[in-house]
A and B are shown apart, each in its own frame.
Chain A
């Protein structure tokens, strides 16, 4: 397994369109996280899955955002009716445990530009 994979790497979309991003975690990792990172800022937590269950959602995750992790494997993050403020890097991370060093492995992100 080569790590966490995110597709696409870059996405340019027109305002009002829907977009979907995919994250393939490390296969044995049961925890999956989505973060959003705007220019010059640190990543901000969006949502978290343990297996297929979505256990927590940030207030940043408006009703235009939805995330799924069917069968506890890959995850998708969909943004409906995109706005210019949605332009950001969307990072996915996975982990096997969340205590101690609890290695979080991050993907390279999907950079979204809304024009």
Chain B
């Protein structure tokens, strides 16, 4: 079984500052992938960043970076230089590389960027 926990229902950040969204996970799969998605009010899930469990380096995609600490089973998303357009729901998700091929999502964090 897989479980994703996001303990921050809501976060505020000032424009141009950095923010960290927390995510912890639990799985019995020896190999897995971790994802972050952004969901604006329009509803679509937008892929942000991916981290494989055996990747040696933390993933980065533009202003997004993933702080992966395997021993702590955490995969926090860091957004640098926040923009007003970053205001949205953010979901952490995982997929084991055996068994179920679908994503398991956390409950999300609503980020509000203030001017």
* Residues of chain A whose beta carbon lies under 8 Å from any beta carbon of chain B: 31, 33, 35, 40-45, 48, 55-56, 89, 91, 93, 98-109, 111
B91 close to A43 (CB less than 8 A): yes
B43 close to A43 (CB less than 8 A): no
Task: Give chain A nearest CB distance to B107 CB in angstroms.
Answer: 5
List which B50-101 residues lie within 8 A (CB) of chain A.
50, 52, 91, 93, 95, 97, 100-101
| Tally of B interface residues using CB under 8 Å | 26
B107 close to A101 (CB less than 8 A): no
Residues on B with C-beta less than 8 A from A55 are 101
Residues on A with C-beta less than 8 A from B108 are 40-42
List which B4-29 residues lie within 8 A (CB) of chain A.
4, 6
A47: nearest chain-B partner, CB-CB: B102
* Residues of chain B whose beta carbon lies under 8 Å from any beta carbon of chain A: 4, 6, 33, 35, 37, 42-47, 50, 52, 91, 93, 95, 97, 100-108
A104 close to B44 (CB less than 8 A): no
A106 close to B101 (CB less than 8 A): no
A and B contact pairs by CB, cutoff 8 A, 24 listed? A31-B101, A33-B103, A35-B105, A40-B107, A41-B107, A42-B6, A45-B102, A48-B100, A48-B102, A56-B100, A56-B101, A56-B102, A99-B33, A99-B97, A102-B95, A103-B47, A104-B35, A104-B103, A106-B37, A106-B44, A106-B45, A108-B42, A109-B44, A111-B43
Q: How far is the CA of A100 from the CA of B86 in the complex (A)?
A: 26
